């Protein structure tokens, strides 16, 4: 609004100049962004192509017989995959029951207790070493865990090719995964929860078990679900510890074949590609389900802490 004391005389008519390279800069951006869009589309396309191909080829062989009869061996991979499904299940349960307590326990220690190490120099140093160890483990490839499992569990401890050897080796593989994800979940719990509990005169363990862990539970469960996914897709580590028998394992000292391994044998030994595709299709469906569960849990985690 103009005021009485001052007036506008005329408008300065300097037009907006264009610098010489403006058109070029806009063009360069358009080209660059087109390429970037292409990259994004390609990433999705790759996923779609691989998944669609495997699933479409795989459903041709999937029927109740495929799922419910055991493999019968033979030159062209006769039979179904029932025993492998059960073996996979056993493997998952056994591996998780070893890895989860150890991993979550380690995470709890690192987050809840390690912070207390003021003045106790030796233990603080130890925590640093543990962290380093976890990071190192995270970078070790699956086959090395398999080799290690072969050396220690299969051979030295005379457990032979068995569910137990495989589960122990697999647990070593999973340890960093569980620890990292659980650590994140525990760290996300607000300080106020712990302080509130301690202020009531509880011991640290009571606080951890009664307040912190329940609050971090979705995140911890996520890490367990993640591990389940890893066990199902992992192959190399089990290849050298589980053995190749397609029969149903009768005890944890028996060997067997997980679905992923069965796929490998079908493709490599008997060249039964269709059945391999079928197995692959089922694996993909399971992994997709697991991913959905993880996403759902992550949202619940965010919601729960957001409303806290």
Partner 1 sequence: MESVVKLEVQDYHLFYGDFRALRGISVQIPAHHITAIIGPSGCGKSTFLRTFNRMNDLIPGVRVEGQATLDGQDIFEVDVVELRRLVGMVFQRPNPFPKSIFDNVAYGPRAHGVHERARLAGIVERSLRDAALWDEVKDDLGKSALALSGGQQQRLCIARALAVEPQVILMDEPASALDPIATLRIEELIQTLKQKYTIVIVTHNMQQAARASDYTAFLMMDEERAGYLVEYGPTRDIFTNPRHKQTEDYITGRFG
Partner 2 sequence: MRYIVDRSMRALLLVSALVSIFVVFLILVFTLRAGLRAFREIGLVDLLMGSVWRPGQEQYGILAMIVGSVFVTILAVAWGVPLSLMGAIFLAEVAPAWVRSVVRPAVELLAGIPSVVYGLFGMVVLVPLVRRIPVPGNTGFGLLSASIVLAVMILPTITNIAEDAIRAVPREYKEGSLALGTTHWQTIVGVILPAARSGIVAAVILGVGRALGETMAMIMVIGNSVVVPRPLASNPLTIVLSQARTLTGNIAVEIAYATGLHESAIFATGVVLFVLIIVVNSLARLLMRGRRR
Residues that bind partner 1 (CB under 8 A): 1-3, 5-22, 24-26
The entry of partner 1, partner 2, none near residue 211 (CB within 5 to 8 angstroms by kind) is: none
Question: What residue 54 binds from partner 2, partner 1, none (CB within 5 to 8 A, per partner kind)?
Answer: partner 2
Report what 69 binds from partner 1, partner 2, none; CB cut-off 5-8 Å by kind.
none
Q: Which residue is listed with tokens 């719990």?
A: 189
Nearer to partner 2, 4 or 75 (CB): 75
When binding is defined by CB under 8 A, the residue of 36, 59, 302, 303 that contacts partner 2 is: 36
Q: Please give the C-alpha separations between residue 53 and each of 57, 59, 136, in angstroms, as whole numbers.
A: 6, 10, 36
Contact 237, 166 (CB under 8 A): yes
Nearer to partner 2, 28 or 68 (CB): 28
Q: Which of 86, 93, 130, 198 binds partner 2 (CB under 8 A)?
A: 130
User: Cβ 183 to partner 2, closest distance in Å?
Assistant: 11
Residue 109 binds partner 2, judged by CB under 8 A = yes
Residues 94 and 164 sit within 8 Å (Cβ to Cβ)? yes
Distance CA 186, CA 180 (A): 10
Q: Is 35 or 68 the residue whose CB approaches partner 2 more closely? A: 35
Q: Which residue has the tokens 């990433």?
A: 43
From the list partner 1, partner 2, none, pick the one residue 247 interacts with, judged by a Cβ distance below 5 to 8 Å according to partner type.
none
- Least distance from partner 1 to the Cβ atom of residue 7, Å: 7
- Nearer to partner 1 among residue 24 and residue 53 (C-beta): 24
Label residues 36-74 b or e (16+ Cβ within 10 Å = b).
Answer: eeeeeeeeeeeeeeebeebbebbeebbeeebeeebbeee
The full length of the chain comes to: 308
CA proximity to 266, closest of 38, 52, 75, 122: 75
State yes or no: residue 137 binds partner 2 (CB under 8 A): yes
Q: Does 42 bind partner 2 (CB under 8 A)?
A: yes
* Beta-bridge partners for 79: 71
């Amino acid at each position: 609004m103009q005021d009485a004391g001052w007036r506008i005389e005329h408008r300065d008519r300097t037009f907006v100049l264009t610098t010489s390279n403006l058109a070029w800069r806009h063009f360069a951006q358009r080209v660059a962004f087109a390429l970037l869009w292409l990259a994004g589309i390609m990433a999705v396309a790759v996923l779609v192509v691989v998944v669609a191909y495997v699933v479409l080829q795989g459903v041709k062989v999937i029927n109740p017989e495929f799922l419910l009869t055991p493999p019968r061996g033979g030159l062209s991979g006769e039979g179904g995959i029932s025993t492998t499904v059960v073996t996979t299940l056993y493997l998952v349960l056994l591996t998780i029951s070893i890895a989860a307590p150890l991993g979550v326990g380690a995470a709890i220690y690192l987050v809840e207790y390690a912070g207390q190490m003021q003045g106790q120099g030796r233990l603080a140093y130890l925590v640093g070493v543990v962290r380093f160890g976890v990071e190192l483990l995270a970078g070790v490839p699956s086959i090395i865990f398999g080799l290690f499992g072969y050396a220690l569990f299969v051979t030295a401890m005379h457990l032979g090719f068995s569910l137990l050897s495989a589960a122990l080796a697999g647990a070593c593989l999973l340890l960093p995964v569980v620890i990292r994800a659980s650590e994140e979940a525990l760290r996300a719990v607000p300080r106020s929860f712990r302080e509130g509990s301690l202020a009531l005169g509880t011991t640290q363990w009571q606080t951890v078990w009664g307040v912190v862990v329940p609050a971090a539970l979705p995140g911890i469960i996520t890490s367990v679900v993640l591990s389940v996914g890893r066990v199902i897709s992992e192959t190399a580590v089990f290849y050298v510890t589980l053995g190749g028998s397609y029969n149903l394992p009768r005890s944890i000292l028996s060997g067997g074949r997980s679905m992923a391994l069965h796929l490998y044998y079908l493709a490599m030994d008997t060249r039964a590609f269709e059945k391999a595709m079928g197995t692959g299709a089922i694996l993909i469906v399971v992994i997709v389900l697991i991913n959905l569960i993880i996403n759902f849990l992550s949202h619940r985690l965010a919601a729960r802490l957001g409303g806290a």
